Amino acid sequence: MSSVFTGSGVAIVTPFSEDEKIDYDVFEKLIEFQIANNTDAVIVCGTTGEGSTLTVEERLSLFRFAAEKIKGRVPLICGTGSNSTSFSLELAKEAEKCGADAHLMVTPYYNKTSQNGLVKHYFTLADNLNKPVIVYNVPSRTGMNISPETYHILSEHENIKGVKEADTNIVKLQKSVYLCNEKLDFYSGNDDMISSACAVGCKGVVSVLANILPAFTHKMAVSGVDGKNRECTLMQNEIMELAQKLFCDVNPIPVKEAMNQLKMCSNVFRLPLDKTSDKNKLLIADVLNKYNYLLSSENRAE
C-alpha cells in the first residue's frame, strides 16, 4: 500500500490579522518555513487550523492557496470532516477541485454514531472521493472512539489510507496496527507519544509541535519510522516538556501564543477561542527560552 506520507505532517495554524481576517501573507511564509525544514505533509484546516470557525468559502480559499504555494512539493491534506456525512462529502469534493492530495476526516461529533455508523460514514465518503481518506480519531473532543475491530473493517477499503490516532491508549493502538496488518497507516495525533507510537508501527505524526520545530519533529518521526527506537526516544525525551506545554490551554491557543512570541504569526483567534492567560504566557515564554537552542537551529521564516 502506498502511504500518503511518512514522517511528520504539520497541523498548520491559520494566521489571522487583528481584524480576524485570514492573513495570507503570513500563511505563505509559514508554508515555506515548513517545506524549508523538511516537513513531510501540510494539513490545512484541522483542529489546529481552527477550521471550525472558518466559513466554507474561507476553507476552500485556504485549500486553493495552499495548493498553489506548495506546488506538489509535499502532500496537501485538507481537513474536510464534520458530523454530517453529506456535508463532509460536498466539502471534500470541492477540496479536491482546489488541489487536495488527501482528506483528514474527523469522526462525527455531538450527534456521534455507533461503530456500524462509523463504517457506513467512512465507506460512503471513501466510495465517492478520488483522493484518499485519513480517519481522525480524537475522543477527547468528539466523545466518539473507534475500536480496533472497526479499524480492521475500515482497512479493507482501498481508499481509506490512514488514521490520525489521538487516543492515548498505546495498547489499543498496538492492537489496531496489528489487526490492520499494514493495510492502514497510523499516525500519532499526540506530540508527546511519537516515539511510543512509532515503536508499535505508526508511520509518523500529525503534529502541533512542528509549527515551531518542523525539522526536529521530522527527524524524530523519521527515526521512529525507520526503527531507530533509541534515537527517537532520546529526541522525544528532549522535547517532552515543550510538547506538553503547548497544550497548557486548549489547542491551538498555546502554539499560536508561542508563534506570536517567536514573531511568526499573531495570537489572534475567533471566538469562542481567546488568548491565553498571563500566567500561561509566562509559562510559554519560559519554555521557549529553555528550548531556544533548538528553536534557533530551524530555518526560521522571516
136 is catalytic: yes
Q: Is residue 31 part of a domain?
A: yes
The answer on pLDDT for 40 being more than 90 is: yes
Q: Is residue 130 part of a domain?
A: yes
- Total domains, the chain: 1
DSSP track, 179-227:
HHTTSSEEEES-GGGHHHHHHTT--EEEESGGGT-HHHHHHHHHHHHTT
Predicted confidence (pLDDT) per residue in 261-273, tens digit: 999 999 999 999 9
Q: Is residue 154 part of a domain?
A: yes
Reported confidence tier of residue 300, pLDDT bands at 50, 70, 90: low
Per-residue pLDDT, 297: 86
Q: Is residue 2 part of a domain?
A: no
Q: What average pLDDT score do residues 131-150 get?
A: 97
Q: Which of 69, 131, 164, 245 is catalytic?
A: 164
From CA 35, how far away is CA 28, in angstroms rounded? 11
CATH number of the domain that residue 12 is part of:
3.20.20.70
Question: Considering only CA atoms, which of 173, 100, 168 is closest in space to residue 134?
Answer: 100
From CA 219, how far away is CA 232, in angstroms rounded? 8
From CA 5, how far away is CA 240, in angstroms rounded? 24
Write out the E strands in the chain.
Answer: 7-11, 41-44, 76-79, 102-106, 133-137, 160-165, 185-188, 204-207
| C-beta separation of 217 from 205 below 8 A | yes
| C-beta separation of 247 from 222 below 8 A | no
Q: Is residue 1 part of a domain?
A: no
164 is catalytic: yes
Predicted confidence (pLDDT) per residue in 249-261, tens digit: 999 999 999 999 9
From CA 165, how far away is CA 151, in angstroms rounded? 11
Greater model confidence, 34 or 298: 34
Q: Phi and psi for 91 in degrees, rounded to 5?
A: -65, -40
Number of residues written out for the chain: 302
Q: Is residue 181 part of a domain?
A: yes
Q: Which of 136, 151, 187, 291 is catalytic?
A: 136
pTM: 0.96
Q: What is the DSSP letter of 143?
A: S
Average pLDDT, the chain: 96
Q: Is residue 221 part of a domain?
A: yes
**Within 10 A of 302 (CB to CB), how many other CB atoms are there?**
8
The answer on pLDDT for 64 being more than 50 is: yes
Most distant CA atoms of the chain, gap in Å: 49
Q: Which domain holds residue 49?
A: 7-295
Q: Is residue 302 part of a domain?
A: no
**Residues 263, 267, 268, CA angle at the centre, nearest 5°?**
135
| C-beta separation of 135 from 160 below 8 A | yes
The answer on pLDDT for 302 being more than 90 is: no
Predicted confidence (pLDDT) per residue in 78-126, tens digit: 999 999 999 999 999 999 999 999 999 999 999 999 999 999 999 999 9
From CA 87, how far away is CA 106, in angstroms rounded? 13
The answer on pLDDT for 184 being more than 60 is: yes
